[in-house]
Amino acid sequence: MDIIKNKLKSLPNMPGCYKFYDNSEKLLYIGKAKNLKKRVSSYFVKNNKDPKTRVLVGKISDVGWETTDSEMDALILEAKLIKKFLPPYNIKIKDDKSFLSVKIDFSQKYPRPELARLARAKPSQQAKIYGPFTDGALLRSGLKVLRRIFQWCDLSEAEMSRRQKTARPCFSYHLKNCSGVCAGKISVKEYGKNMKQLSRFFEGEKGSIVKELKREMTISAKNKDFEKAAKLRDKIKTLEHLGQNIQFSNNNLNIENSLKIEKLKIKNSQSALKELIKEINISLGTRLKFHKKWRIEFYDISNTSGTNAVGSMIVWQDGEFARDQYRKFKIKTVEGANDFGSLVEVLRRRIGRISKFKNQMSNKIQSLNVQNVFWPEPDIIILDGGKPQLSAVGRMFTEQGIDIPLLALAKEEEEVWGVNFTKPKLHKRHKQKYKFHKTQTVLNLQSEIFNLKSIAKDSPEGFFLQKIRDEAHRFAITFHRVLRVKKAVKSRLDEISGIGPKTKKKLLLRFGSVSGIMKASDKGLKNMIGEKLAREIKEKL
């Protein structure tokens, strides 16, 4: 018993597997633990022992252990050790039937990953089997992430052939989980290439896949196939962002642990935010302090050749996107494709919504904020753009005496720029002349722009900023698209005399869009709105 007491003292507070031996050094039991010290010590507490455990503990003469990097690694190691040694007191994980494996059969015209119990997964020359996996939930979650990248189709071959004739993609295509091979949107060869990349991913070749995709993206961009280049960029980002690894139980290959990513998302984001604040303080000489309710606002401008210009504000607060606090801005005082001016207008209007800065905004800007409703003050503001955008907004901030920390994230190299706001140092005898009325700014600030080179684009804080920027893009583009469609519908139907709001609504409900109205038969239009108006619509559209 003294041996066991000494062993218990030296047990680490780490995940791993423990082994119990009898006095003849025969292995009795293998278990896994999140914390070896706590778990093993619990066996030697007098209370709460079932009969089986009491018998086991009575036979233990020695304890051994192996540490691992995570509880998942411990689970996999436990399975391997139990299958190898078959200890008498272990009743679980006796054979491979308890594990799920992934099978990709390349003898099929449209191969795809399928889950199978290893006993039923018959290997062949063209069918590749990966696993077994000891945690089915983690495996299924990992495959959901991988499907967004490699986009396989789960229809039968017969159903695919039928759909290819009608060019109608499956539902998964609309969810961006299928590449559209079922509707002929990519070739069978291209689809096969994607599945081979997936197979290589299971074989631990993530790095080489990323390099390959980057080469393809560069070639597509040079060929001005920007749509394909953008899709490849998104694939690369998702692959590079994938987090912790799960180990296979048979050969130490890797699959990304997407379930743990989801559970740790807020924690990791808050950690990245702490690092970001630290880097800002070092680079800009600020004294920002992290707190759980930290509010970040990111601003983006979207337009088409200067028309339908809109601004978007997205909010990150308390470790997640606060979508109920997102705001949209129609640009009202700037004409043409002027992102700098548009950003300045949006930020002026936004700052006017902060009670302590309200009186510093011009009457013109105050009049644009029709409702006298105040919004929370952000801890930091980030702009989509580089040094020019930052300079324009920074100049406005210095003029108005606004010292909210300001950053900009450039698209090209994911560079981060920041403004250092400082108050001019004045001699005591000069300070009196700067004491203005309470409703006016106290003193113009001075500003200096810095490149925050310490924030690398592939660092946690760099990824954090990119994640917020991508959400702002999505929100701005969606709003811009809605305005563009509304304008298109309005300009084409409203120009036809005789079509009022009710008739327009009736036509759009029946035919779905202006394009649908154009394709409608003369008879169909005539029966709905009369011969004269139907003829005029056909002529004008």
Predicted confidence (pLDDT) per residue in 220-243, tens digit: 888 888 778 888 887 887 776 654
Q: Among 39-43, 263-267, 346-350, whose mean pLDDT is lowest?
A: 263-267
Same domain, yes or no: 329 and 443:
yes
* Claim to verify: residue 90 and residue 125 sit in the same structural domain: no
d(CA 402, CA 360): 9
Same domain? 293 vs 227:
no
Lowest mean pLDDT among 97-106, 305-314, 482-491: 482-491
Q: Are residues 19 and 107 in the same domain?
A: no
Element (H, E) at 32: strand 27-33
Asked if residues 455 and 279 have their Cβ atoms less than 8 Å apart, the reply is yes
The pLDDT value given to residue 487:
60
Which domain, by its residues, includes 42? 2-94
* Cα 142-143-146 angle, rounded to 5 deg: 95
Same domain for 67 and 169? no
Distance CA 510, CA 503 (A): 11
Q: Give every CB contact of residue 502 below 8 A, 6+ residues apart in sequence.
A: none
Q: Which CATH number goes with the domain that contains 295? A: 3.30.420.340
Query: Looking at the 3D structure of the chain, how many domains does it have?
Result: 4
Per-residue confidence (pLDDT) for residue 347, from 0 to 100: 92
pLDDT at 18: 93
Q: Rounded mean pLDDT of 8-13? A: 88
Q: Alpha carbon of 398 to those of 287, 405, 419: distances in Å?
A: 18, 12, 10
In a domain, 266, yes or no: no
Rounded Cα–Cα distance for residues 137 and 263 (Å)? 13
> Between residues 395 and 453, which one has the greater pLDDT?
395
Residue 82 resides in a domain: yes
Q: Is residue 431, in this structure, part of any structural domain at all?
A: yes
* H or E element that contains 99: none
Q: Say how far apart CA 2 and CA 190 lie, in whole Å.
A: 66
Residue 263 located in a structural domain: no
277 and 364 in a single domain? The answer is yes
Look at residue 396 and tell me if it is in a domain: yes
Q: Which of 38-47, 256-265, 401-410, 499-508 bottoms out in mean pLDDT, i.e. has the lowest?
A: 256-265
Domain boundary among 36, 71, 94: 94
- Mean pLDDT, rounded, for 270-278: 77
Element holding 102 (H helix, E strand): strand 100-105
- For residue 523, the Cα-to-chain-centroid distance in whole angstroms is 50
What is the C-alpha to C-alpha distance for residues 72 and 142, in angstroms, rounded to an integer? 14
The answer on 110 and 36 residing in a single domain is: no
At which of 68, 94, 120 does a domain end? Answer: 94
Spatial separation of the C-alpha atoms in residues 53 and 486, rounded to whole Å: 71
Which tens digit of pLDDT belongs to each residue from 341-355?
Answer: 899 999 999 988 887
**Same structural domain for residues 84 and 222?**
no
Q: Where are the alpha helices (DSSP H) in 127-244?
A: 136-150, 157-166, 171-174, 188-202, 206-222, 226-241
Give the list of residues 6+ apart from residue 370 with CB closer than 8 angstroms, or none.
none
Q: Is the pLDDT of residue 265 over 90?
A: no
Residue at token pair 């979650």: 141
The tens digit of pLDDT for each residue in 166-187 reads: 888 888 888 888 999 998 888 9
Considering only CA atoms, give the Rg of the chain.
31
Give the residue, 71 or 23, on which the prediction is more confident. Answer: 23
The confidence score (pLDDT) of residue 131 equals 60
CATH number for the domain harbouring residue 66: 3.40.1440.10
Which of 60, 79, 94 terminates a domain? The answer is: 94
SS3 content of the chain, % helix, strand, coil (to 5): 50, 15, 35
For residue 159, which of 188, 144, 181 has the smallest C-alpha distance?
181
In a domain, 12, yes or no: yes
Residue 129: per-residue pLDDT: 78
Mean pLDDT within 107-133: 73
**How high is the pLDDT of residue 275?**
76
Q: How far is the CA of 482 from the CAs of 103, 489, 511, in angstroms? A: 43, 11, 19
Contact 14, 67 (CB under 8 A): yes
Does 113 fall in a domain? yes
Distance CA 457, CA 374 (A): 35
Residue 399 has pLDDT above 90, yes or no: no
CA angle 273, 279, 280 (to 5 degrees): 90
What local confidence, expressed as pLDDT, does residue 440 receive? 37
Q: Are 345 and 369 in contact (CB under 8 A)?
A: no
CA distance 68 to 77: 8
Contact yes or no for 250/130 (Cβ under 8 A) = no
Separation CA 342–CA 345 (nearest Å) = 5
Of 270, 261, 267, nearest to 72 (Cα)? 261
d(CA 59, CA 193): 57
Tell me: the pLDDT tens digits for 75-87?
A: 667 767 776 788 8
Q: What per-residue string of b and e applies to 4-23 under the rule 16 or more CB within 10 Å gives b?
A: beeeeeebeebbbbbbbbbe
pLDDT for the residue 323: 87
411, 384 contact by CB (below 8 A):
yes
Enumerate the H helices of 242-310 as residue ranges. 258-284
pLDDT value at residue 244: 38
Return the percentage of the chain with pLDDT > 90, whole number. Answer: 11
Pick from 140-144, 265-269, 432-436, 532-536: least confident: 432-436
Q: What is the mean pLDDT of the chain?
A: 76
Q: Which two tokens stand for residue 12?
A: 């680490």
316 Ramachandran zone, left/alpha/beta (phi>0; psi -120 to 50) = beta
Kindly state whether residue 366 falls inside one of the protein's structural domains. Answer: yes
CA distance 513 to 517: 6
- Does the predicted TM-score (pTM) go above 0.85? no
**What's residue 484's pLDDT?**
63
What's the chain's length in residues?
A: 541
Give me 246's structure tokens.
């799960």
What tokens were used for 50?
């079932």
The tokens describing 326, both together, are 């997102």
- Residue 91: what pLDDT? 57
Q: Quick one: 418 and 388 in the same domain?
A: yes
Secondary structure of residue 510 in the 3-state scheme: helix
pLDDT at 193 > cutoff 60: yes
Tell me how far apart the alpha carbons of residues 538 and 541 are, in angstroms, rounded to a whole number.
Answer: 5
Question: In this predicted structure, what is the pLDDT of residue 268?
Answer: 58
Digit-coded pLDDT (tens) for 462-474? 888 888 888 888 8
- Under a CB-based contact definition with an 8 Å cutoff, are residues 29 and 90 in contact? yes
Spell out the SS3 assignment of 364-394. Answer: HHHHHCCCCCCCCCCCEEEEECCHHHHHHHH
At 129, give phi and psi (nearest 5°).
-120, 130
Pair 221, 145 in one domain: yes
Name the DSSP class of 183.
Answer: G
Q: Are residues 249 and 300 in the same domain?
A: no
Pair (371, 514) in one structural domain: no
